[in-house]
Chain A
Amino acid sequence: DIQMTQSPSSLSASVGDRVTITCRASQGISNYLAWYQQKPGKVPKLLIYAASTLKSGAPSRFSGSGSGTDFTLTISSLQPEDVATYYCQKYNSAPITFGQGTRLEIK
Chain B
Amino acid sequence: EVQLVESGGGLVQPGRSLRLSCAASGFTFDDYAMHWVRQAPGKGLEWVSGINWNSGSMAYADSVKGRFTISRDSATNSLYLQMNSLRPEDTAFYYCARDQGYSISWPDYWGQGTLVTVSS
Contacts and interface: CB of A to CB of B under 8 A. Distances in A.
Interface residues of B, number: 23
A95 B60 CA distance: 6
Given A43-B95, A43-B110, A46-B106, A96 B47 contact: yes
B68 to A, nearest CB: 12
A87 B45 contact: yes
A97 B95 CA distance: 15
A95 B59 contact: yes
Contacts of B1: none
B104 interface: yes
A95 B63 CA distance: 11
Interface in A56-107: 85, 87, 89, 91, 94-101
Given A43-B111, A46-B107, A36 B50 contact: no
A95 B61 contact: yes
B106 A44 contact: no
Contacts of B112: 43
Given A32-B105, A49-B100, A101-B45, 10 more contacts: A1-B62, A43-B111, A46-B107, A46-B108, A85-B44, A91-B104, A94-B59, A98-B45, A99-B44, A101-B44
Interface of A: 1, 32, 34, 36, 38, 43-46, 49, 55, 85, 87, 89, 91, 94-101
Interface of B: 35, 37, 44-47, 50, 59-62, 95, 100, 104-113
27 contacts: A38-B45, A43-B95, A43-B111, A43-B112, A43-B113, A44-B110, A45-B110, A46-B106, A46-B108, A46-B109, A49-B106, A55-B108, A85-B44, A87-B44, A89-B47, A89-B106, A94-B59, A94-B60, A95-B47, A95-B59, A96-B35, A96-B47, A98-B45, A98-B46, A100-B44, A101-B44, A101-B45
